[in-house]
Amino acid sequence: MKLLDIILAFICGEASAFLINDLISDLVGNNFFGVKTLRFVFLFLIPILSILFLWVADLIAKKFLFVLQLAKHILVGLLVVLVDLEIFTLLIGLFSVESGWFSGTAKAISFLVSVSTIKFFGNKYWAFEEKEKNNIGRQFTVFLIVTLVGLIIDVSSFLCLIKIIVPQLGLTSRVWIKISVIIAAIIAAAWNFLTYKFIVFKKQNASTLPEI
């Protein structure tokens, strides 16, 4: 495993730790017994687990390349979700509005910003190791189209969760909105991985298939 893989896995793991800690703060508050210690542990433990996760995927990838690609795609997705959620929270905070349709608009903006930067470059150069620089404009266009479909899936899932499904397990509306953002992102991520692998970056995938 390359040093760059370790560094990026650590960064993505930190993003995941921040997401979990943010949810813990909303669920039980910062003064609940042991929460501060637990949050501190997560900041160190989850990045390490992310590196181990990638290391195991790297071993399996010697026979099944897609496993390593999927692992990196998941890690990039964690970073994207953090950026997505932070932008979304910022927009909601700036306008002090949490109505369903405004939340949907804010979610669309945060999704587009996060995927057009981190998701494209993270998947192109790290997950699928696509080094081709020719026709990058065309590639980004195709990427954007399939990602926009992912946006529809993402926002539709999000709106269904907050407008049709009531908050579960006694969670507050604020916590349920954040959980809905994460669930919607996971659903869209499944679509994104398949389309990125077989449509956007298919040339790289074809050239790196293991011999049978």
pLDDT in tens, the chain (212 residues): 889 999 999 999 988 888 887 777 766 666 665 667 777 888 889 999 999 999 999 999 988 888 999 999 999 988 888 888 888 888 887 776 655 567 778 878 887 888 778 888 899 889 988 877 777 888 888 998 998 898 889 888 888 888 777 666 667 777 778 788 888 888 888 888 889 888 888 755 544 444 33
Q: Is the Cβ–Cβ distance between 78 and 119 less than 8 Å?
A: no
The token duo for 190 is: 């499944």
The whole-number pLDDT of residue 96 equals 66
Supply the pLDDT for residue 204. 52
pLDDT reported for residue 10:
93
Domain extents in the chain: 3-207
pLDDT of residue 47: 92
Dist CA 178 CA 176 (whole Å): 5
Q: Residue written as tokens 């926002």?
A: 155
| Per-position DSSP letters for the chain, written without gaps between them | --HHHHHHHHHHHHHHHHHHHHHHHHHH-SSSTTHHHHHHHHHHHHHHHHHHHHHHHHHHTTT-HHHHHHHHHHHHHHHHHHHHHHHHHHHHHHHT---HHHHHHHHHHHHHHHIIIIIHHHIIIIIS-----TTHHHHHHHHHHHHHHHHHHHHHHHHHHHHTSPPSTT--HHHHHHHHHHHHHHHHHHHHHHHIIIIITHHHHHHTPPP-
Tell me what pLDDT residue 54 has.
95
Which residue in the block uniquely carries the two structure tokens 């992310």?
Answer: 50
- Burial profile 172-204: b = 16 or more Cβ within 10 angstroms, e = fewer: eeebbbbbbbbbbbebbbebbbebbbeebbeeb
Residue 33's pLDDT is what? Answer: 59
Q: Tell me the whole-structure pTM to 2 decimals.
A: 0.73
